[in-house]
Each structure stands twice: as C-alpha cells, then as structure tokens.
Structure 1
Amino acid sequence: MRMPLPALAPAAYRGHFWRVDAENDAGLPRNFRTCQSPFHGVEHKYASEVDASYIPSRKGLDDLRISGSGQFSDRQFDALVHELRKKTKGPVYDVDLRQESHGFFNGTAVSWYGRHDWGNIGKSQADVLADEQQRLQNALGTDVTVYDQGKGDLPIHPRTLSVRRVQTEQELAERKGIHYVRLASTDHLWPTPGEIDRFLAFVRTLPADAWLHFHCQAGAGRTTAYMVLYDMIKNPDLPYRDIVYRQYEIGGNYTPHDVLHPKRGDWKGPYYHEKHEMVSLFYQYVQDQTKQGWNQSWSQWLENRRMRFSNNYHENDI
C-alpha cells in the first residue's frame, strides 16, 4: 500500500523561491522522446537491475501515440508542437503531471519551489490550481527575483525578471490549439490511487487518433511512470520486463528502480521501493482487468486485494 508521507507537516515544505525550469529559448525541451525513439544503452546506475543483453520488444511501441519531456518554455512548446505535428494530424493532449505551482513569466517556465519540490504537498488539485493562479497574478507587473536550483534545495544564480506577461500552462497550451489535462502528482512519489483512477477515466475518453505528451519538471520520474502505465494498458500481451525496459531505454527513468539498503539520510529510498512494488502491481491489475472487462477501478482493485490478504492472514492465524 501507499507509503505514508514524512512526519514533518506540509509547512516544512512550503515554497520559498521562484525556480527557473526552462529558459525561453528555441529547441525541444530536455529529455524529449517519443515511442519511436531508438533505444539507448543501460546506464551504470541501473546496471545491477537492467540486463543490458536483453533487447525489449518494440511490438506496439512504434504505434504508441505518446511522447514525454521535461518542462518547456513558451518557445520550446512551439518546437514541441512542430515536432509532434510531423507525427500526427489528430488531437494532441498536453498531460501536465506537476503538483507544484508553475507557469510562465514572459515565456520563461518557472515554478514556486519548496523542499523536495513538495511546495503543494497535501493539497487538493483545486487548491493547487488556486495557489498557482494567485502566485502568477501577484507577480504580474512586478520585478521578480528568480533562481536556478543548486545542489539540494538551495537557490543559486539570482536574477531579476520584469514580469510583463504571465500565463498558466493551460492558457499557453490552449492558445496554441493543444488540449490540456492536469494530473497534479507529487514529485518523487508514486501517484495516489485517485490520481490513477482519474488517469484511467481520461484514457477511456480519448479518440483513437489522440496523441498524449506527458511531462513533469525534469521529464524523468513522473513522466516515465505514466508512459509505462499507458504502455501497459495499450499492450497487455507484452511481458512486464519489456515495457519497463523499453520506456527506460527510449530516454526515461527505470521506473522499478529500487533501493534495498538506503544510505543514512537517503529520504528517497522508501519512495523508490514503493514505486518498485506499485508498478508491478499495476501490471497485474491490467492483466486481470483485461480479462475481466475493466469492471474495477485501480483503487477498488487495490482495496479488494488488501481485503483478501487481510482475510487470508486472519484465517491462517486461527
């Protein structure tokens, strides 16, 4: 089941500076890839978990109409849309996975940064959107100091922007003719059951020619996780290893990465372990629901599984 959040109160993670996520320059956003991208080699950090000699199947991958990247600026979004229009004439959906308040100052992508990127942790999506809108509007017409993020949570390289134009990502996307969907997922954590339920409901509404572009801040953790989920849904006949390997090898993170023995002070270790377990469970869920006709939501399936384990435990204890 889901890892409990840290004992510290949400106020301990409150945002305290505007971080620059992407300069408003030309070119594609960082970590951009599509499912037609070639496989890359296995990085050293995953060498003990990913078999470099195993070449995952591309069955269904080249026809999977999804892409991923890190956060884009205004001009980078133009480059992104231009690139995707080479691949599809159908509707394109910007699937924004960021819980943190973010938007654009004069086209530069910024976000309100708190410890661990958890400035909005514990908030509802409605509260996140309200916070985001208020912060952007408060910045309009003022001089704002923005920073890069240094090691850990330290702001570095301060500079001043005279903010003459602000936009939410929804405003940017829709102005350019792109559909916008927000799934406010907490950085570094596996999505909540409710978030995945909403994602599954959204997928069921899509036309056959839809293209989904997933992004978070870096285009690595949350982005790859959702691309893996979508690949599992669309290609249930493939082995688990093929899907998690190939979404890593086209340019994402290795979603089942685990830390069995976290070093002292490694706060991410338990959350990696949760992802490792949950992505495998989601694969089991898809296998089950493909046979059952998708008669249960993810949250219902998890709860039923928990009840079965609980009942078995008590029966064995008698």
Structure 2
Amino acid sequence: MIRCKKIAVILAVFSAMGMVVQGQGNGDNIAFSQGARTPLPALAPAAYEGHFWRVDAENNGGLPRNFRTCQSPFHKVEHKYASEVDSSYIPSRKGLDDLRISGSGQFSARQFDALVHELRKKTKGPIYDVDLRQESHGFFDGTAVSWYGRHDWGNIGKSPTAVLADEQQRLQAALGKDVIVYDQGKGDLPLHPRVIAVRRVQTEQELADSKGIHYVRLANTDHLWPTPGEIDAFLAFVRTLPDDAWLHFHCEAGAGRTTAYMVMYDMIKNPGLPYKDIVYRQYEIGGNYTPHDVAHPKRSDWKGPYYHEKHEMVSLFYQYVQDQVRQGGSQSWSQWLKNKRMRVNNS
C-alpha cells in the first residue's frame, strides 16, 4: 500500500527551509530567461493531459538504459553532433572520477536492485535517488510505468504537491485491476497494448525507501530547461549534502534532464575547469550534448526552440557559478538571472 502520509513529501529538507520546488505556473507562455523564457505552445494545459499508461521499463534484470557514472570511459562523438563537438578535443577528467554521480533512464524494480548493487561497488556513503520527472509515474508489480500525455507534459502547470497527489491517486486507482499498458510509438502514439493484472503498486519513493536509498524529487518538465525556482531548490539541496554523498540522477530516458543536472553539478564542484571540458565530458561519458542547438528548426520541429533555450541557459549557468566563485557570494540563481536580464534590457 502507498503510505498517504508521504503525499506531501517532495523535498523534505526544503520544507524545513521554507523552500518548495516550483513547477511551471499555469503552464502557458512563461516569461523568464536572459531575455524571455521560450514560450510553450499556445495550448491550455488540458491539451497535454495524460491518456494512457506507458511502459518505461520492463521488470527485467540488468542496469537501466543510458546508465553511466562519472568514472565511465569517454565514447566517440556521434554523427548527429559532429558539427558541434570537436572530436579531436579530449576533455579533462580532472575532478570527474571523484565527482560521485551517475545517471540513467527510468528503472524497473529489478533494475533498481542492479543499480544499487553497482553503486555500492563505488561508495559506502549515502546514495541519493534524484528523480527529475514531473510526469506521474510508479511501478505496477515492479514494471515502471508513467501516465503519458502529449509531449510527456501530462502534469505541466501543476505544483509539486499536485504532481504527487495525481501520482498517488492514479497508482491507487490501478491497484487490484487489470490495466492496459502501452509502449510509446513515434510521437505520442500508444503501441502494443497488453494487460497487467496489477497486484502491487509502489511510488519511487517507496521503492527507494525499501532499499535504504535517499529519495529526492525535482519535478521538472520533460524537454525544457529547469525553471529558476527548480534550480534554486537544487542548489539548496546540494548545500545540505555530506561530503561522501553519491547522487544518481534520472529522468525518463536518462538523456536531457539527467545530463543537464549532471552538467550543473559538475560545474558547481569543478569551477576551475573550462566550460567546454564540462559539457564535452558529460556528453562523452554517455549523456546528451546539452548545448546542442537547432539554428533553423523546421516548423514541425516543436523541440527546436527548447534546444535553443538550453543552449543559452547552460552557458549562463556556467557564468553564474564563475561569478559566485569570484565574488565569494551566495546569490541565488534566480536573482542572478533576473539581474542579468535587467542589465541586458538596460544596455
């Protein structure tokens, strides 16, 4: 059974500090960036509501997809990034092997066991499962599932508390029933329907708790750069960590959101390294190339503007970290970004 008392738990440490991980407001036409945040399509949040249970990971053994650690070897540059990433450049590994982080896509219950087993080979300290998913998700008898809506934005516009409430309600409603689940086809199409006789449901927090792993939820919208409030909350969380903490970041695929947070953490912990080395090495151990940009996106490429925003924002975050190191300050990311926007607008 899901313990209802956990419904309000999203980042308990932030509650004690009076902080909440903020979502996307009302979800449409959000303004914030160096200039203005890339607006969402002009559709009401209801247009993105979930309509089927997607299978994110079958309850098989082995490690989750796109698993890597800070100690993973560099791989070759993929063709899709050949025009952006200099394949002849070998990024520094200074501070990387001791960074104590890993990343992956969503795991099933058995894959989580394999994940914990693998990480326990690398650390005796506390392990934190940093769940970056805004979408409602959990486990049907160990199989990882999520409630899928257009663009994976089923919870867009909801507060973190509302996200958890939706997640709890949907998992509880499935308990004891025969539930149709699907794979996600190209775009938003559900494929390969099959039935799971759901005899047990778990939230990810319950799974983590059962294995003695700390759980942190940062409910970030898929495909988008995190909001200023979400990054402020992440930075506050990082300041609470013991020196021997190991952070495992994951989203659905283990690519966009996961790499963005691994890049930011690397920048925080290794401020003396060039920007290029950090974004290259987080890509080359198995993530995405976070500064990837689409110069002239096609009209059908709805992700293009969001890639461009990430391209700009990851560079700005590096500047933010450098400023804090030089000035010895503790200014929040949101305030720094606001001040920078004001300077740009007044120049």
Place the TM-score, normalised by the shorter chain, in its bin.
Answer: over 0.9
Match 2:277 to one of 242, 247, 263: 242
Distance in 2, matches of 1:43 and 1:140, equals 43
Mapped partners of 2:82, 2:248: distance in 1: 28
Q: How does 1:6-21 map to 2 (within 5 A)?
A: 6-21=41-56
Report percent identity of matched pairs: 87
Specify the code of the residue in structure 2 equivalent to 1:242: D
Whether 1:83 and 2:118 are equivalent positions in the alignment is yes
1:45 lines up with 2:80 in the alignment: yes
Unpaired segments of 5 or more residues in structure 2? 1-32
Q: In structure 2, what is the equivalent of residue 3 of structure 1? A: 38
The offset of 1:3, in angstroms, is 1.2
SS of residue matched to 1:161:
strand
SS across alignment from 1:199 = helix
1:24 aligns with: 59
Q: Which residue number in structure 2 is paired with residue 316 of structure 1?
A: none
Please say which of residues 56-65 and 286-295 is displaced more in the overlay.
286-295
**Aligned residue runs from structure 1 range 1-318, under 5 A:** 1=33, 2-312=37-347
Please tell me the root mean square deviation across aligned C-alpha atoms, in Å.
Answer: 0.6
Please list the CA deviations of residues 200-240 of structure 1 after superposition, one character each: whole Å capped at 9, or x if unmatched. Answer: 00000000000000000000000000000000000000000
Q: Distance in 2 between matches of 1:264 and 1:225?
A: 25
Give the partner amino acid of 2:45: P
Partner residue of 1:315?
none
Quick one: distance in 1 between partners of 2:42 and 2:323? 35
Three-state SS of the structure 2 residue aligned to 1:145 is strand
SS of the residue aligned with 1:263?
coil
For residues 345 and 291 of structure 2, the distance between their equivalents in structure 1, rounded to whole angstroms, comes to 26
Alpha-carbon distance in structure 1 between the residues aligned to 2:330 and 2:152: 36
| TM-score between both structures, scaled by the size of structure 2 | 0.89
Distance in 2, Cα, partners of 1:56 & 1:125: 37
SS of alignment partner, residue 144 of structure 1: strand
Q: Which runs of 5+ in 1 are unaligned?
A: 313-318
- TM-superposed deviation, 1:263: 1.2
Runs of 4+ residues over 4 Å off in structure 1? none
Whole-Å Cα distance in 2 between the matches of residues 33 and 268 of structure 1?
25
Structure 1 Cα separation of the partners of residues 232 and 51 of structure 2: 32
Question: In 2, distance between residues paired with 1:166 and 1:178?
Answer: 18
Q: Residue deviations 1:237-277, cap 9 Å, x none? A: 00000000000000000000000000121000000000000
Instruction: Give SS of 2:309's match.
Output: helix
